[in-house]
Amino acid sequence: MTMSQTLSLYRLQQIDTQIDRARTRLAAIKSVLENDDSMREATEKLQATEAASRSAESSLSQAEHDVQEQRIKIEQIEASLYGGSSHSPKELQDLQNDVAALKRHLSTLEDRQLDAMLACEQAESDHKSALVELDKVQARWSEQNRHLEQEQQSLQNDSDRLTKERGAIADGLSTTDLGLYDKLRQEHRGVAVAAINEKSCSACGSSLSAGQVQSARSSGQIGFCPSCGRILYGS
């Protein structure tokens, strides 16, 4: 492997590092865009208040129906009681007792109707509040997304450009060199080539002897870090 090939591998490493960072950030942005907790919570709250409002309206409708039916029953018995039809004293007393009982129950039903009306008003108020909150969250979410989407597009453009540059460099390397590079990338969390920094491996920090530094800088051979095993690049 010549010095030119080692340099090419080092440049390939620099590009791959940038691509890895861009892809990591792109994945994070995608996760934020697709899994926004505040948006999900606001939407779930709106759905819950919608269901509560429908239930409250149904309860109110039933309460109104019960009150109306009870009033009709009272009107019918009172019509029989005061309609002039012949009734025995006992029948009249029974009818009066029925009317009294029906009116007592009517009072209970009207109380239930009032409670249902108040519950319906509260449910409608909660629903309106949930709508307002969702609008606020959507506005904030849209503003955040605007910046994230701009960053996403910029990162994607950078990634596309870097991928082309990578291809141009990889085309100039042998299959053997690329195979070694890829193997080391897999073994060392994406970093196959490390620059020499003040007689040390920039990847693991291990000190290098003068001979190891010279070997890495020689034009006719490849040097490896004795500690981590990465390819060493010395400028």
Q: How many CB atoms lie within 10 A of CB 230?
A: 22
Q: Which two tokens stand for residue 120?
A: 């319906």
Q: Is the pLDDT of residue 3 over 50?
A: no
Q: Which element (helix H / strand E) includes 91?
A: helix 89-171
Provide the pLDDT confidence category of residue 86 given band limits of 50, 70 and 90: low
Q: Is the pLDDT of residue 37 over 80?
A: yes
Q: pLDDT tens digits for 158-190? A: 999 999 999 999 999 999 999 999 999 999 999
User: In angstroms, what CA-CA distances link 190 with 3, 21, 150?
Assistant: 22, 11, 27
| 80 closest CA partner among 92, 72, 71 | 92
Q: pLDDT tens digits for 91-100? A: 888 888 999 9
Provide the pLDDT confidence category of residue 88 given band limits of 50, 70 and 90: confident
Q: pLDDT tens digits for 94-151? A: 888 999 999 999 999 999 999 999 999 999 999 999 999 999 998 988 887 888 989 9
3-state secondary structure of 233: strand
3-state secondary structure of 34: helix
User: In angstroms, what CA-CA distances link 31 with 24, 144, 153?
Assistant: 11, 13, 15
Mean pLDDT for 219-235 is: 85
Provide the pLDDT confidence category of residue 218 given band limits of 50, 70 and 90: confident
73: β partners: none
The identity of residue 115, as a single letter, is D
Q: pLDDT tens digits for 17-34? A: 999 999 999 999 998 888
- Inter-residue contact 181 to 37 (CB < 8 Å): no
Mean pLDDT for 226-231 is: 95
Q: How many CA atoms lie within 13 A of 205 on its CB side?
A: 0
Q: Is the pLDDT of residue 85 over 80?
A: no
Q: What is the pLDDT of residue 89?
A: 84
* b/e map 191-212, b = 16+ CB within 10 Å: bbbbbbeeebbbbeeeebeeeb
CA dihedral of residues 38, 43, 49, 54 (deg, nearest 10): 180
Q: Which two tokens stand for residue 210?
A: 């003068």
| 126 closest CA partner among 185, 194, 228, 54 | 54
Provide the edge-to-edge strand list for the sheet that holds 231-233. Answer: 193-195, 231-233, 223-224
Q: Is the pLDDT of residue 1 over 60?
A: no
Q: Measure CA 31 to chain center.
A: 7
Q: What is the pLDDT of residue 2?
A: 46
Q: What is the pLDDT of residue 137?
A: 92
In this structure, of 15-29, 148-162, 209-223, the range with the lowest mean pLDDT score is 209-223
Question: In angstroms, how far is the first alpha carbon of the chain from the final one?
Answer: 15
Report all structural domains of the chain as residue ranges with CATH numbers, in order of start: 36-171 (1.10.287.1700), 175-233 (no CATH)
d(CA 147, CA 108): 59
